[in-house]
Amino acid sequence: MTLFSRIVGTGSYLPPRRLTNADLVAELAAKGVETSDEWIVERTGIQARHFVVDGVNSSDLAFEACKQALAAAHLGPQDIDLLIVATSTPDMVFPSTACILQHKLSQLSPQAAGIAGAPAFDVQAVCAGFVYALSVADAMVRAGNARRALVVGAEVFSRLLDFNDRTTCVLFGDGAGAVVLEASDTPGILATDIHADGKHVGLLCVPGHVHGGQILGDPVLKMDGQGVFKLAVGVLEETARTVLAKAGLQDSDLDWLVPHQANIRIIQSTARKMKLPMDKVLLTVAEHGNTSAASIPLALDAGVRAGKLQAGQLVMLEGVGGGFAWGSVLFRY
């Protein structure tokens, strides 16, 4: 029997602290940094974002999103035999955030302890991380190496931001999203497509690292906004067409596009190139900002809980981020 994988549950979590543009503008003004709500909205479409408070880490956000996804799938942690976390903001250098999350999930109940022993690891592909993680999980399920997987995107990007740089600090937020992937004899995920090109590493990076107990380099986010925009719109169209071709489908077959929520202009450009009306695009960028690896599952869960996604619809996920890494996943809901 041919095995496929299907998404059978989604979940998400945003930390309670919500900052509107007005809130952030006021905080920046106190630091002598000038910007405005109008400037932010015009260039990005972002109106608000969520930030964690001290002591809250990526695994904490992931834990809440996973509980929602498991409940939606009517499963418990003991039913999961693969756990993958996409993150660029891990709790520690090591062990993986996935291992930390696994332990937290194992303590939900006596039965939940059954998740211990399942493979758990992180994937680091920045804003394309969730697409990468879902592609890996799909391959493992189809190969028979897992029956049910939790795939999570979780970030605390607020801790990587330079709040003296108005071109980057207004863009990002914190959050987590998760899906439960289950083996099935009917197709769910139809095709995946992932790529990377390291020659673009300087366009978007955090060039600091730990050495001898000290931070070497600059541990805050650096971005060439124009360079990122030009690259993103090209590779997103390319991967979208590639994944559709792999499945033998066309632009017009799509019911929903769930893009990485980085910038409304990039999203609009991609939709325009694919001749897709914006009412077929799931958008959360206005309220969430760019939550990196968490943005796609956050948007997907928002669409599911709003009743927008219906059984049998064709859905495309796509993302692009530092590396540069990019890719897409096509599935039937």
Give how far Cα 307 sits from Cα of 71, 230, 260, 304, Å.
17, 34, 20, 5
Q: Give tens-digit pLDDT for 137-194.
A: 999 999 999 999 999 999 999 999 999 999 999 999 999 999 999 999 999 999 999 9
271-299 burial, b at 16+ Cβ within 10 Å, e below that, comes to bebbebeeeebbbbbebbbbbbbbbbbbb
Q: Which residues of the chain have pLDDT under 50?
A: none
Q: Which residue in the block uniquely carries the two structure tokens 């050495």?
A: 211
Is 127 a residue of the active site?
yes
Say which CATH topology domain 190-332 has.
Answer: Peroxisomal Thiolase; Chain A, domain 1 (3.40.47)
Give how far Cα 104 sits from Cα of 51, 58, 73, Å.
22, 12, 19
Tokens of 88: 């660029």
Which pLDDT belongs to residue 7? 98
- Choose the catalytic residue: 21, 50, 200, 260: 260
- CB neighbourhood size of 256 (10 A): 20
Instruction: Characterise 55 by phi-psi region: left (phi > 0), alpha (psi -120 to 50), beta (else).
Output: left
Percent of the chain with pLDDT over 70: 100
Q: Give tens-digit pLDDT for 47-61.
A: 999 999 999 999 999
- Choose the catalytic residue: 66, 99, 127, 169: 127
Nearest of 97, 190, 84 to residue 132 by alpha carbon: 84
Q: Which residue in the block uniquely carries the two structure tokens 């009743």?
A: 307
Which pLDDT belongs to residue 2? 87
**How far apart, in whole angstroms, are the C-alpha atoms of residue 152 and residue 102?**
12
Give how far Cα 13 sits from Cα of 130, 209, 217, 302, 308, Å.
15, 28, 32, 10, 19
Which pLDDT belongs to residue 1? 73
- Choose the catalytic residue: 21, 57, 263, 290: 290
Q: Are 46 and 21 in contact (CB under 8 A)?
A: yes
Positive/negative CA dihedral, 42, 319, 247, 179: negative
Give how far Cα 158 sits from Cα of 71, 154, 162, 172, Å.
28, 12, 9, 7
- CB neighbourhood size of 251 (10 A): 14
In this structure, which long-range contacts are made by residues 219-224, counting pairs with CB atoms below 8 Å and at least 24 apart in sequence? 219/160, 220/160, 220/161, 220/162, 220/165, 221/157, 221/160, 221/161, 221/162, 221/168, 221/172, 222/168, 223/167, 223/168
Is 290 a residue of the active site?
yes
* Beta-ladder partners of 194: 327
Q: What is the DSSP string of 252-271?
A: GG-SEEEE--S-HHHHHHHH
Q: Give tens-digit pLDDT for 7-25.
A: 999 999 999 999 999 999 9
Say which CATH topology domain 4-185 has.
Answer: Peroxisomal Thiolase; Chain A, domain 1 (3.40.47)
* Beta-ladder partners of 331: 189, 315
CATH 3.40.47.10 location in the chain: 4-185, 190-332
Helix H or strand E encompassing 153 = strand 148-156
Is 209 a residue of the active site?
no
